[in-house]
Amino acid sequence: MEYKLINNMSKIKVIKTEQDYREALKLLEELISHDPDPESEAGEQLSLLGTLIQDYEERILPETLPDPIEAIKFRMEQVGLKPADLIPYIGSRSRVSEILSGKRQLTLEMVRALESGLGIPAKVLIQEYNQDLEAQYQHWDTSLVRSMETRGYFGDMSLEKYDKVELLKSFFSILGTKAQPAALLRKANYRSPRTDKNALSAWMIRVLQKAERIKVPTKYKHGVIALAFMQDFVKLSVQENGPVLVKEHLKKYGVKLVIEPHLPKTKLDGAAILTEKDNPVIGLTLRYDRLDNFWFTLIHELAHIVLHYNQDIELFYDEFDDVKGFNIGAKEEEADRLTSEALVPSDKWEISPAKLVPSSIAANSLAKELGVHVAIVAGKIRHEGGKWTYLNSIIGQAKVHKYFPDEKWNKK
């Protein structure tokens, strides 16, 4: 160990170049991995290296300060730290979780520890307002802001009395720093890369606003909802008011379902929002007024909760029309497979005439066997066959917007 310390000491030097900076970050990671006592020689080396990194960043990097929590997460990403690695600087595991989620403010002791231990400048950690937000909001499409206004995103505020920067600052301030657009972008997985990310961020905050008004009797318990639950859940589709019933059913298990039509410049179908661990949120746009689309999207977002709760991504935005030719990623493929199995189990599909013959008789027969709405089976037939004109008589009759009359549905 003594030889390692001497070796490390020989590597610590004033940082003058980008290469020096990268080497210093790598050495910082190495020193942190040993969790040295602050009073030890290794601890002093760690403090010295943190000071040198801070000095370089203050001299070279832009003066605009990042959000404190985003700065911590950025440093974690740079040196490969997990939340548990922050315990020596912040406290208990629960305290770390509260800090990273924006539910608790950093104390002076935490700021000092993070500055000396991780080299994050104190002026970044103690500042309260992201100075770059106004510049971000200036670049937002005014037509998008106007659409948000029309949909009631800003309450009584309007573009007649306020400029778009003031409206956006007010809107995003509702849920604090964790809801700022830049933060949302880093937390999210996008099924399609072509959409307007600002519109997605605004839509997500709107969904969370609605979700806060939903009272649920319990916290979500991971593991309770699984494939068998999902297959039984889909049977609600045969009920006349099935789309309404599912909202109440999910509440019993701590999951909130919110309906919010999509914004312009997106083709968003739905999202799984895992930022609130006690009560995950599913947002659906019902972009298509079709029951098969409702159930596919709902089960797909539920699959994300089942599969990806407490993992590295907290937001899954799904746009099913615009992914051809793109690598959608392992997590989306996992969710697709579970969704397919929940809606129409493969063991039933493989032996059903519906797999070979795209007829209403075959679709109705399989739907009756599974105990689900025939539109779900018709949707499966269309998807597997790649023929979106199949079974229009079934698909076209199964509407869903009528169950949510209070929403301002977009005109096609």
275-311 residue pLDDT tens: 888 999 999 999 999 999 999 999 999 999 999 998 8
Tokens of 121: 């400048």
* CA distance linking residue 393 with residue 92, whole number of Å: 59
pLDDT at 190 over 80: no
Taking residues 129-135, what's their average pLDDT? 58
Mean pLDDT (whole number) for 28-51: 76
Range scoring the smallest mean pLDDT among 40-54, 87-101, 223-237, 360-374? 40-54
| Distance from C-alpha of 367 to C-alpha of 348, rounded to nearest angstrom | 10
Give Cα 158 to chain centroid, integer Å.
28
Task: Give the pLDDT band of residue 195 (cuts 50, 70, 90).
Answer: confident
Place of tokens 């076209």: 396
Highest mean pLDDT among 8-12, 118-122, 252-256: 252-256
For 359-384, write each residue's pLDDT tens digit: 999 999 999 999 999 999 999 999 88
Tell me the mean pLDDT in the region 46-55. Answer: 80
Q: Which two tokens stand for residue 277?
A: 């661990």
Mean pLDDT of 320-341: 79
Under the banding of pLDDT at 50, 70 and 90, the label for residue 324 is low
Residue 131 has pLDDT above 80, yes or no: no
Percent of the chain with pLDDT over 90: 41
At residue 236's C-alpha, the angle toward residues 232 and 242, to 5°, is: 155
Burial of 255 (0-12, 13-18, 19+ CB in 10 A): buried
Does residue 136 or residue 344 have the better pLDDT?
344
> CA torsion angle for 268, 273, 279, 283 (degrees, to 10)?
0
Identify whether the C-beta of residue 178 lies closer than 8 Å to the C-beta of residue 201. no
Predicted pLDDT of residue 128: 54
Is the pLDDT at 39 greater than 70? The verdict is yes
Q: What's the rounded Cα separation, in Å, for the pair 108 and 105? A: 10
Q: How many CA atoms lie within 13 A of 327 on its CB side?
A: 2
- Look up the pTM and report it: 0.68
Of 40-54, 186-200, 201-215, 255-269, give the lowest mean pLDDT range.
186-200
Sheet bearing 281-284, strands edge to edge: 188-190, 315-318, 270-273, 281-284, 256-259
pLDDT band at 234 (very low <50, low <70, confident <90, very high): very high
Q: Whole-angstrom Cα distance, residue 359 to residue 341?
A: 21
> What is the per-residue pLDDT for 348?
96
What's the DSSP call for residue 128? -
Which helix or strand (DSSP H or E) is residue 14 part of?
Answer: none
Distance CA 161, CA 168 (A): 13
Residues 30-52 have a mean pLDDT of 77
Q: What is the mean pLDDT of residues 338-343?
A: 97
Angle (CA) 153 242 333, round 5°: 75
Mean model confidence pLDDT for the chain: 84
SS3 159: coil
User: How far is 355 from 344, CA to CA, in rounded Å?
Assistant: 11
**Rounded CA gap, 366 and 346, in Å?**
12
Q: How crowded is residue 405: how many other Cβ atoms within 10 Å of its Cβ?
A: 7
pLDDT at 58: 66
If phi > 0 it is left, if psi is from -120 to 50 it is alpha, else beta; for residue 92 that is beta
Q: Quick check: 305 and 257 in contact, CB under 8 A?
A: no
